[in-house]
Structure 1
Amino acid sequence: MEKIYNGIWKLRWGQPEKISPLTLTKIHPSQEALDNLHCLGNPPISISDIEIKETTRGLKIELPLKEGEQIYGFGLQLHRLNHTGRKKVIRVNSDPIADTGDSHAPVPFYVSSAGYGVYVDTARYATFYCGTNLSKGASEHQKNKQKSVGTSEIELYGYQKAEGDRSMVVDIPATKGIDIYFFEGPDMKGVVQRYNLFSGGGTIPPAWGLGVWYRAYSAAQNEDVMRLAENFRNDSMPVDVFGFEPGWQTRAYSCSFLWDDNRFPNHEEMLENLFNMNYRVNLWEHVFVHPSSPMYEELIPYSGDYEVWEGLVPDFALKEAREIFAKHHLQYFIEKGVSGFKLDECDSSDFVHSNWSFPDIAQFPSGLDGEQMHNMLGVLYQSTLLEVFKKENKRTLSQVRASGALASSYPFVLYSDLYNHKVFIRGVVNSGFSGLLWSPEVRHAETAEDLIRRIETVVFSPHALLNCWRIPNPPWMQVDQDKNKRGEFFDDFERVRELCQSLFQTRMSLIPYLYASFANYKYTGVPPFRALVMDYPNDPNTYDIDDAYMMGDSMLVAPIVSGETERNVYLPEGRWWDFWTDTLYEGGQSYIFKPELGKIPVFIKDQSILPLAAPLENVKDDSIFDITVKVYGENPKDFFLFEDDGTSFNYEEGLYNWVRLSWNSDRKGGVERKGDYAGRRYQFSNWESK
């Protein structure tokens, strides 16, 4: 057991595989920030309590689980928050249809309520048994225990909660050695901070990336795009990013990575018009390269031995493949002003009719096999394109369908082709344990109410995105696909549009607060969106709350799904202010709330300072946010806004300010700037105290 950073320990057993997330991911641990975190300085698990054995399958690892420990993490788990007593397979898959561990972003990292974390550095389909099994003989004391025969399935199958001391058993196939990393706390938030800082810290998106995104109809042509773009501006509908779906390319499955001149005959002129209206542009693509692509011939020697959708699968573990792919994107897109990409379908699929991706037995020139590449493709894809933006000194916020371990520094937000709203909310809650960002994007709605409920969630999420790829007209006009295409709109579409506009404006008002939360993510490792149990680990009432979450340090968000007019919200210890009404509530108890449509339950922690901006229609490079500072409580903690140019990586060279907002005993507000950024992005027009 070797201490490698403050609070981080490494155990090597045998000879690990040369290929692993740590060897393939270019991380730069934030050592100074790690040194600033408090810890006891002892390994959270004693080496004498760890058992590792080589088996005919690979490796078996057994780690202790004490009675009462609750287990969280394992990446983007959409079907469960608390994994205690469950089996999780770390396998990437686009359709996680059950609580098996399959995920768009599985991560072999778990966090215990006992205040430690464990990361197993493997790209294999590792299986974690979270206290599900006892070793032979452990139940001998039960031999005289009487058991009645029941009539329900639970009684018949003898299901019982995991009681007493158990074990975390890890099964890793096809390997003869492993590196295991242990993260001290002292609490769960401290564990996650340490893991994120080990991964290089969180990401700071460009300021415009925190605005509202709209992805257009997949069959849209030049004139359709411009009609939408102009209408948004004419209606004062806040939209920052305009996304193009597959139809922009000459070939999409697999991809040509070339504009379709028939549908977009003057695409550069169209892009220039969008830029002049202050839109950023995001382009859909996936990794599979069609023979008609200019990259195809060059990539042949640097691709896997199986095609997908008649296209090559580049081996991004190789420098040559990354450079070819990056060069094309730079020349054809980024130099033309494109701000980011939607990296679709890099997550493979086993469970749908259009089964895609390469087999696990595939081989790649770098030495990766198909199993390893499945689990690593999303991360390698992100890093390949991020390198281009870094070299151009342009920040991006982009989308991706697959990610994995050690990815907290990547400015990519996960999304899914699934549609269940409750599942999407759970994704926001869970993603914070593993250095991931998740969008509960609005891509489907049954009714106008359903649309508003989904938008309510997405504006209080990492990525405020409406994916309207199935409909030519905005969803506030009509959510039914066939009627939307025929131009048959809601009778009250103006009311629906006003509700959407109001929610978008709420999102725009939160950008300075969110931007500061992401900067905190970068420099301290605290995820901007996280489960309540991470902030309140000693409160058993938070252990299983998977439908409410913290947004930054001060806001608690509790979304509502369509068909529900009320919901129960548990407010942890302390006092909480209703974001909409300023009503004060005592924590440590639950309440029933019946908010009107367009205003989900959102609460501000007492003794907080909340900066709210006058809503902009879009974030320009030179935008200045006009801030109203809201003060909650008599002695609030200082709040620190992050101030820089909002678009470049110059902050990595120290060109940024921390803007300290304070409230003194004379009930007066103070603003203090410290840093080397010469510009000003914030002005303060009003202070309001509660």
Structure 2
Amino acid sequence: MQRSAVVAVDEYRWSTDTVTLECITDDEEEAVGWKYREGTDTEVGTGGTVPVSLSFYTPTTFRFEFAANPDAGATETLNEFDEEAIIEPVDLTVEADEGVLRIDTDALRVTVGLDAWSFAVTTSDGRTVFEEQREDIDVHGDLRVDPLGYTTVERNNGPNRVTNTGTAFTLAPDEHVYGFGEKFTGFDKRGQRIESWHVEALGTETERSYKNVPFHLSTRGYGMLVDTTNRVEYDVGNTSTASGTVEVSDDTFSFVFFYGPSFKAIIEEYTALTGRVTRPPKWSFGVWMSRLGYESREHLESITARLREEEIPCDVVHLDPFWMREFHSCDLEWDIDQFPDPESMIAGLHEEGFHLSLWEHPYVPTGTDAFETARENGYFVTDATGKPYVMDNLCQGDYAGAIVDFSNPDAVDWWQEKTRELVEMGVDVFKTDYGEGIPEDAVFANGRTGASMHNYYPFLYNRTVYEAIADVNGSDEALVWGRSAWTGNQRFPMYWGGDAQPSFNGMHSALRGGLSVSLTGFPFWSHDIGGFRGTPSTETYIRWVQFGLLSSHSRCHGTTPREPWAFGEEAVRVFKKFATLRYRLISYLYSYAETACRTGLPVVRPLVLEYTDDPTTYNLDTQYLLGEELLVAPVFRETGDVDVYLPEGEWVDYWSAERYTGGQTLHRTVPLDEIPLFVRAGSILPLHESSQTVQEGSPDEATLRVTPVSTGETRATFDFYDEDRDRVVSLECDIDADGEAIDLSVEDPNATPSFVADVVDIDHPPTTLRVNGEDLRAVDADPARGEWTYDATDRTVRAVL
């Protein structure tokens, strides 16, 4: 095995938005008499070169591509990017001076060493954002990490072949790194080795993961997306604290570089390129009830009957593999012995306000009619001989099966037709389980092997199912509940975190994984409330319920019962308390879902996303923001002890209304029926009446809880999604420093909901209260539209807008 590095530039050329560099590597340097070329006049040395190209999409975003095997051409990407969504005019200035090439846009300067290769990205004010590492040496003068280059391996005692390409980059002493998909290890990835390669993770406590996305964010103000579907390996300061490395198992190394400098700006640009999410159906934000599993129609209907009897809000029930016949998962056909007359069963569920989710995986067991159909028609991934790639222990139930080849349009049509039949029957959503098991030597209909299809397969799998549902129900009602994912999978919502242990450690790792994937373009994610395999303690279950019901989506699931009554009366009481809160927040969550569609920003947010300049947030993975207005700190100890960090600003305890100044850590012992929940002062929080199921359409009435800051002027805003009119309504509230004047504004006075504003923590009645510039009339109690009242006991002004 030999490593070759780029050492200099032989020539360069440029066009309006692209610079191409023909580079010399150290294994060619002795054989080539080279010089760099300015323009096209300088003599070029004889011998081979390797190309590096820089293509600018915008002044702050560019694509870097290094092809180590140029005669074969660069590897064609499988990732589906929408370059047109981000392209802007770029005015490049390219100048060379004293062996250095400077490529300038309005926002960035890329500097390339010509005589001796170097690569750096700086801002217009000279701050280094990214720099290739070539100075990390040990006491012998040897490099600790490999700079830009490629690795060749001898094959069969003879020819050499390029197997890997990659580079090294500097890590600043105060730099922090996030992302890489759903990673269950420490939230800040500095110091870790990371592999972007899907595996059956068998839990959520290791580096192994189901959702790998080769995209990371740095507190230096940049994001990097490696454009490949092959295996990617990172060393983020593990071998050397001064350096990071990225290696791709391919002869082409390509990445897209995004400069923000804010994380929000980077995520918006990144998701515009890789694909924005479609807003999930509103009912999906209700409670999902599931376990492994409800084994018959009678069993399922007993669960739904008790949910309604106990008045536990719930919108979705899920059937795991038992809806299919034994040894037939996954042929997508009902076991009508266990689930007789499924059409009437589904109709009954719908009448009771339940949506139905069915489990599936993309593997078809041998010995079934579906297997024979797929084999005869070539719908399976094959081995090198062209036969179906049959493996034992592939399917649910530990029996042999083959893998549906979603690169084959005919196989896609076949699977989608089976899916559409179920959707037409009334099935609402599919849990698209698995998808991580593609062998590297498998062969696909598109000519690719598993080496490049392994990571990409979940994209094809989830898209196939998602589009089949959309064909029948429309895109507004399309949804999957997926486990495996790659770059761009966020386009097909949504995903859950796999098989967490039923413990506080499992609960914490589920949160870490969710926060990590939220920074890689996935705005919606969930987890198994209670953990997956085994039975959680009552305390763990209740604490997980609180966390789960204050997540983007909420599903109870595990190998043993996860219905609240299985854990006693107190669990039922707490479950109902937090389910009621969740359903009061549906308009809030749905408004942030609309924001996610437009920006790619997540509903559940790590604090570092909103408070990137606050060093305390850099490693904070035990709490999160739900939207921007609510701060949630799950409890991970049976004792109820929890530390809560409040970032800058002012925060109000949701339960007690006590106020706290930001920039401090609170040490709390929390009763079992509470979770630390804080409202950001200077905010508007929309609430409405709870219900047993999510109500479609805009609420008839929404209460706007306005929380002013305690001192100084308040300006609070919120973008409310008016579902009936399919538009965002901007809400504003301005309060002067003395609380004498309150000015409320509704951008669209004809918005569907009737808004009631509760302005809390007001010491005295205001002198004036205006809505859209018009004075409202003060009354003693029970205000009607155009009136307001003041409650001295609650210190609250209520105005009916």
| TM norm structure 2 | 0.72
In structure 2, how many angstroms separate the alpha carbons of the residues matched to 1:7 and 1:460? 36
Equivalent AA in structure 2 for residue 637 of structure 1: A
Question: CA 1:216–1:663 in structure 2 vs 1: closer, same or farther (change >3 Å)?
Answer: same
The alpha-carbon distance between structure 1 residues 70 and 253, as it changes in their structure 2 partners (threshold 3 A), is farther
Distance 2:611 2:441 in 1: 44
- 1:338 corresponding residue in structure 2: 427
The gaps in structure 1 that reach 5 residues or longer are: 135-161, 348-356, 480-492, 646-654
Pick which of 373-382 and 337-346 moved more.
373-382
Query: Counterpart of 2:563?
Result: 475
3-state SS, counterpart of residue 383 of structure 1: helix
Partner SS for 2:401 = coil
**In 2: Cα distance, 1:117 partner to 1:554 partner:** 26
The alignment status of 1:457 with 2:547, answered yes or no, reads: yes
Q: Which residue of 2 aligns with 1:209?
A: 284
Give the corresponding residue for 1:130.
236
User: 1:156 corresponds to which residue?
Assistant: none
Please tell me whether residue 592 in structure 1 is matched to residue 639 in structure 2: no
Alpha-carbon distance in 1 for matches of 2:205, 2:559: 29
Cα deviation digits, residues 332-377 of structure 1 (max 9, x gap) = x111221111011223xxxxxxxxx343222222223223333122
Give, in whole Å, the separation in 1 of the partners of 2:554 and 2:89: 31
Q: Secondary structure at the match of 1:341?
A: strand
C-alpha distance in 2, partners of 1:585/1:563? Answer: 25
1:585 is paired with a residue of what secondary structure?
strand
Query: 3-state DSSP class of the match of 1:10?
Result: strand
Displacement of 1:311 in angstroms is 2.4
Q: Distance in 1 between matches of 2:708 and 2:649?
A: 11
Counterpart mapping for 1:367-406 below 5 A: 367-392=447-472, 393-394=474-475, 395-406=477-488
Give the Cα separation in 2 of the matches to 1:21 and 1:345.
21
Deviation at 1:235, TM superposition (A): 2.1
What one-letter code is carried by the residue in structure 1 that aligns with 2:429? G
CA 402–98 in structure 1, closer or farther in 2 if over 3 Å, else same: closer
1:626, distance to aligned residue in structure 2 (A) = 3.5
Aligned partners of 1:391, 1:397: CA distance in 2, in Å? 12
Contact 1:216 1:225 (8 Å CA) reproduced: no
Distance change in 2, residues 1:443/1:297 (3 Å): farther
Mapped partners of 2:627, 2:293: distance in 1: 34
User: Could you tell me whether the CA contact under 8 Å between 1:44 and 1:182 is conserved in 2?
Assistant: no
Taking a change above 3 Å as real, the CA distance of residues 250 and 476 of structure 1, as seen in their structure-2 partners, is same
**What amino acid sits opposite 1:125 in the alignment?**
R
Q: Post-superposition shift, 1:251? A: 4.2
What does residue range 375-454 of structure 1 map to in structure 2 within 5 Å? 375-392=455-472, 393-394=474-475, 395-419=477-501, 420-436=506-522, 437-444=524-531, 445-454=535-544
Tell whether the 8 Å contact from 2:640 to 2:670 is kept in structure 1 after alignment: yes
Structure 1 196/283 Cα, relative in aligned 2: closer, same or farther at 3 Å?
same
Would you say the 8 A contact 2:198–2:210 is kept in 1? yes
AA matched with 1:365: A
Q: Which residue of 1 aligns with 2:690?
A: 615
CA distances 1:94-118 after superposition (whole Å, capped 9, x unpaired): 2267987421111111110011011
Matches within 5 A, 1:409-558: 409-419=491-501, 420-436=506-522, 437-444=524-531, 445-471=535-561, 475-479=563-567, 493-558=568-633
Asked whether the equivalents of residues 217 and 468 of structure 1 are also in contact (C-alpha less than 8 Å), the reply is yes
Task: Find out whether 1:62 has 2:168 as its counterpart.
Answer: yes
Alignment partners' CA distance in 1, 2:348 and 2:265: 47
Unpaired segments ≥5 residues, structure 2: 1-53, 91-103, 113-117, 120-131, 133-146, 153-162, 383-388, 736-740, 762-801
Residue 386 of structure 1, CA deviation: 1.8
CA distance in 1, matches of 2:704, 2:560: 40
The amino acid of 2:485's aligned partner reads S
2:26 alignment partner in structure 1: none
Q: Secondary structure at the match of 2:578?
A: helix
**Paired residue secondary structure (2:451):** helix
Aligned 8 A contact 1:428 1:461 in 2:
no
- 1 CA distance for matches of 2:301 and 2:202? 37
Deviation at 1:245? Answer: 1.1
Give, in angstroms, the shift of residue 45 of structure 1. Answer: 6.1
Q: What residue identity is the alignment partner of 1:2?
A: S
**Do the aligned partners of residues 10 and 232 (structure 1) sit closer, same or farther apart at CA in structure 2, a change above 3 Å counting?**
same
Distance 1:623 1:515, change over 3 A: closer
1:405–1:32 Cα change, 3 Å: same
Larger RCO (alpha carbons 8 Å, 6+ apart): 1
Q: Deviations over 1:449-483 (max 9, x none)?
A: 22110101101112111115533xx632224xxxx
**How far apart, in 2, do the equivalents of 1:32 and 1:519 lie?**
24
Amino acid at match of 1:337: G
Is the 2:57–2:88 Cα contact (8 Å) retained in structure 1? no
Residue number in structure 1 paired with 2:244: 168
Structure 1: how far apart are the matches of 2:309 and 2:666?
Answer: 41
Partner SS, residue 609 of structure 2:
helix
State how far apart, in whole Å, the 1-side matches of 2:521 and 2:336 are.
Answer: 40
Q: Which residue of 2 aligns with 1:658?
A: 728
SS in 2 for 1:576: strand
Is 1:322 aligned with 2:408?
Answer: no
Write the letter of the residue equivalent to 1:324.
W
1:637 aligned to 2:716?
A: yes
**Structure 2 equivalent of residue 303 of structure 1:** 380
Q: As a proportion of its length, which structure holds more helix?
A: 1
Q: Is the 8 A contact 2:75 2:251 kept in 1?
A: no
Does 2:158 align with 1:76? no
- Partners of 2:291 and 2:205 lie apart in 1 by 32
Matched, 1:90 2:161: no
Determine helix, strand or coil for the equivalent of 1:378: helix
Which deviates more from structure 2 when the two are superposed, residues 360-369 or residues 665-674?
A: 665-674
Q: Percent identity?
A: 25
Q: 1:217 Cα shift?
A: 5.1
Could you tell me which residue of structure 2 aligns to residue 143 of structure 1?
none
Given the superposition, is the C-alpha separation of residues 622 and 67 from structure 1 closer, same or farther in structure 2, using an over 3 Å criterion? Answer: closer
Q: In 2, are the aligned partners of 1:257 and 1:293 still within 8 Å (CA)?
A: no
Gap change, CA 1:551 and 1:325, over 3 Å in 2: same
| Contact preservation (8 Å) 1:440, 1:457 | no
> Conserved in 1, the CA contact under 8 Å of 2:204 and 2:510?
no
Deviations 1:110-153 (A, max 9, x none): 1100110111111122111113345xxxxxxxxxxxxxxxxxxx
CA separation of 1:252 and 1:232: change in aligned 2, threshold 3 A = farther
Aligned residue number for residue 683 of structure 1: 754
Q: Is the 8 A contact 1:201 1:525 kept in 2?
A: yes
8 A contact 2:364–2:403 mirrored in 1? yes
> RMSD over aligned Cα, in angstroms?
2.7
What one-letter code is carried by the residue in structure 2 that aligns with 1:4?
Y
> 1:452 aligns to what SS in structure 2?
helix
SS of 1:593's equivalent in the other structure is: strand
Q: Decide whether aligned partners of structure 1 residues 339 and 28 sit closer, same or farther in structure 2, where only a CA change above 3 A counts.
A: farther
* Partner SS state of residue 477, structure 1: helix
- SS of 2:719's equivalent in the other structure is strand
